[in-house]
Amino acid sequence: MKKDIILAGVGGQGILSIATIIGFAVVKTDLYLKQAEMHGMSQRGGAVESHLRISDKEIHSDLVPHGRSDMIISLEPMESLRYFPYLKHEGWLITNITPFVNIPNYPEMEHLLKEIKGHKNSIAIDGDAIAKEIGSPRSMNMVMLGASAPFLEIPFEMLEDGIRAVFGRKGEDIVKKNLDALNRGRDFAEKHIKK
Amino acid sequence: MDKLLLLGDEALAQGALDAGISGAYGYPGTPSTEIFEYVQHSKEAAQRNVHRTWSANEKTAMEEALGMSYTGKRALVTMKHVGLNVAADPFVNSAITGANGGLIVAVADDPSMHSSQNEQDSRHYGRFALVPVFEPSNQQEAYNMTFDAFALSEKYETPVIMRLVTRLSHSRAGIVRTNQLKENKINLPANPNQFMLLPAFARINYKNLIEKQKFLEKESENSKYNVYHDGKDKSLGIITCGLGYNYVKENHVEAECEYPILKICQYPLPRKLITKIVDECDEILIVEDGMPVVEEWLRGYLDNCLKIKGRMDGTLPRYGELDPARLRTALDLEPYPIKEVPTIVKGRPPELCKGCPHRDTYYALNEAMKEYEPGHVFSDIGCYTLGFLPPFNAINSCVDMGASISMAVGAADSGLFPSIAVIGDSTFGHSGMTPLLDAVNSKSNIVAFILDNSIVAMTGMQDSAVTGRVEDICLGIGVDKEHLRVINPMKSHHEENVKIIKDEINYNGVSVIIPRRPCIHIVAKLRKQK
Ligand SMILES: Cc1ncc(C[n+]2csc(CCOP(=O)(O)OP(=O)(O)O)c2C)c(N)n1
Ligand code: SF4
């Protein structure tokens, strides 16, 4: 088993919680894990990425090599495309489609969707809308984690445990909403794959 | 034992705690900050009462750590690569005094300048000062090496550099704790002259330091971190430094590497091992993250050993961070097919947060400066450096911490009017006070803005050393009370602020304006404290 994942988004959208939850799940198993993240300057509304590598064999590089990523999980549509040079030809592109517009020259949405759909294996999901529906707009990142769950080869319950561990401090209600978000994301992706 | 999921920074910090440090000293700086913060938040450190308060800058941190080493206890000092420039004086001289208790200088380099002004390589400092360097290639090594580095430091009475790079500092992996040592007791140096660098003693110490080198080289030759992996195909030998090893291995997951590899993680360079691989192989590829330090040493000035390949002959990029895919051609492997970034993707630079106090300061400053040509505002390093970007375009320089005030002084001397400095509160505490003293002494015609947001925001919310004392410091330095103005950077105070700024620009002498409003990310915390 080997998964090389790029997490993408805009500073503040919550890619680090995704990494933390997957990390929490994996460290309890015999699998190896490396997770490289960016700190500092890039936190303020700029593009952020994290590299997450999971394998049953020893992992050498902290970075995913260009051209070798099995999956991009992106919290923002334009950001999903920025990391194309990492993605394998047959890798999965899983992205939220609500744009985060904080630059004057943000591209047209239809052009972005065309590029996203143009990739062989892609799942475009309105993570923000689903998070709002369940009354927890800030759980968009967990919707996106859920949407990638079918490809992760990590038992789903372990991701749920990860959410309980990471959000536990914030109270039962927050845990429940994030679990809900995770499930909704997974359901969407599963339906999409069957189609 | 359970695995702990730790950043490279944190693994080093856990190693230092387990190796029995009595104090951690440091000044924040990406990517080193998390080393110190790990000690700061550690329950064990609290129980043991390990010193763990941020220092005013890297120089004071280095000296404080040296003071602890003098007493025989183990000390860790942390900083980013450019911080070692600030600490260079005590660092280089600490090689001459040597250590008593174990002393580790943990420095995190930033190849590709993800959040720095340059990509200088701290291994240069190691060689320059004749100080051994450890360069972990993974998180577990960062943990393990800390024990060995302290032991080496005490055995040879020398400070030791632990060099990290961004990718290790900020990458997590599972690590296992192996040991827990007791802290040292106070035990002053056996030689009362050890720390007396009067020329007569310094000469003796320097001679000892030079003599130590052959023993340190022997340690490197026998080190478990410098390993020669033999290979069948001697047409190429690969020398890797630190993380470089991982990038070579990453390209050989399916099939073992056929070429011999010399993995180097401890310096001074292990001469015998280097000679062996150079003699055995037709060509040598050097893979190091950062500057071509080892490559330069091996090539020498005349560069007449034609068999070396690396960053200096274009085999690998001359600058910037390495990554595994970039090595493939150098290793005679097929490059991976790589998709291009679609052209519609636009850059998304970081920006000042919505509601940030620095925004209102820049709006007011820009309006007050409207009547002058651009090019008058010297700034510094911190969140406020983002005031360079649109829509502000408010500042014209960012060089090194503290340089805003000193450059404004020099420019005013040259006749530039107005000459404005913009500096953050933590940066002021770090290196802004002494240039302000120069300004007062030479009655410079400058306006210095000290942006007081009550915190070190850029590096992730550390306590600022000058909080609550900025006015007193300025008055103590000799700034005239009439021209020390505190303003509230808020939209509602805009007109008033513009007027104050204009008045101070027109005053011929040193003015200090302190825009004071907390960073929006700590407002809630401050409220709770009240
Ligand atoms: C010598 C040196 N040490 C550390 C750093 C890292 N660094 C950059 S800005 C900064 C502090 C900024 O704090 P402050 O001046 O209070 O401004 P703020 O970010 O809060 O606006 C630090 C520690 C550096 N660039 N150079
Ligand atoms: S972190 Fe604080 S100081 Fe930095 S840009 Fe945001 S609000 Fe401003």
B288, B294 contact by CB (below 8 A): yes
| Count of the separate structural domains present in chain A | 1
- Computed over its alpha carbons, how large is the radius of gyration of chain A? 16
Is domain B4-221 in CATH 3.40.50.970, yes or no? yes
What is the dotted CATH code of the domain comprising B227-330?
Answer: 3.40.50.920
Q: Which of B3, B167, B249 faces A36 most closely, judged by CB atoms?
A: B167
Nearest Cα to B78, choosing from B117, B25, B146, B125? B25
Q: Which of B79, B426, B522 to mutate to test the pocket of ligand 1 (most atoms within 8 A of CB)?
A: B426
CA gap B124, B240 in Å, rounded: 17
Q: Do A67 and B337 touch (CB under 8 A)?
A: yes
Instruction: Say if B4-221 and B357-527 have the same CATH topology.
Output: yes
What pLDDT band is residue B467 in, cutting at 50, 70 and 90? very high
Q: Do B339 and A68 touch (CB under 8 A)?
A: no
Ligand 2 close to Cβ of residue B520 (< 6 A): yes
HSE, CB side, 13 Å, CA atoms: give it for residue B328: 15
Calculate how close chain A gets to B72, using CA atoms only, in Å. Answer: 35
Name the residue at shortest CA distance from atom 15 of ligand 1: B424
What is the dotted CATH code of the domain comprising B357-527?
Answer: 3.40.50.970
Ligand (nearest to CA of A45): 2
Calculate how close chain B gets to A115, using CA atoms only, in Å. Answer: 8
Q: Which residue has the higher pLDDT, B479 or A40?
A: B479
Compute the distance from residue B360 Cα to the ligand 2 centre, in Å: 12
The sheet carrying B377-378 orders its strands as B377-378, B420-424, B447-451, B511-515, B484-487
Q: Where in the sequence is the domain holding A16, given as residue range(s)?
A: 2-194
Q: Which CATH number do you get for residue A174?
A: 3.40.920.10
pLDDT, one tens digit per residue, over B436-452 is 999 999 999 999 999 99
Q: Is the pLDDT of residue A160 over 90?
A: yes
> The pTM is what?
0.96
Residues with CB under 6 A from ligand 1: B 27-29, 58, 80, 82-83, 86, 381-384, 401, 424-427, 453, 455-459, 464
Q: Is the pLDDT of residue B183 over 70?
A: yes
What pLDDT sits at residue B417?
98
Ligand 2 close to Cβ of residue B364 (< 6 A): no
Q: Do B5 and A27 touch (CB under 8 A)?
A: yes
User: CA-based angle B287:B143:B123, to the nearest 5?
Assistant: 40
Residue ranges of the domains in chain B? 4-221, 227-330, 357-527
Mean pLDDT across B194-207: 98
Ligand 2 close to Cβ of residue A120 (< 6 A): no
pLDDT, one tens digit per residue, over B49-100 is 999 999 999 999 999 999 999 999 999 999 999 999 999 999 999 999 999 9
Q: Do A27 and B174 touch (CB under 8 A)?
A: yes
Q: Which of B114, B247, B347 faces A61 most closely, judged by CB atoms?
A: B247
- Number of Cβ within a 10 Å radius of residue B282: 10
Q: How far apart are the first and last CA of chain B?
A: 42
What pLDDT sits at residue A41?
54
Name the residue at shortest CA distance from atom 3 of ligand 2: B519
Secondary structure class of B346 (helix, strand, coil): coil
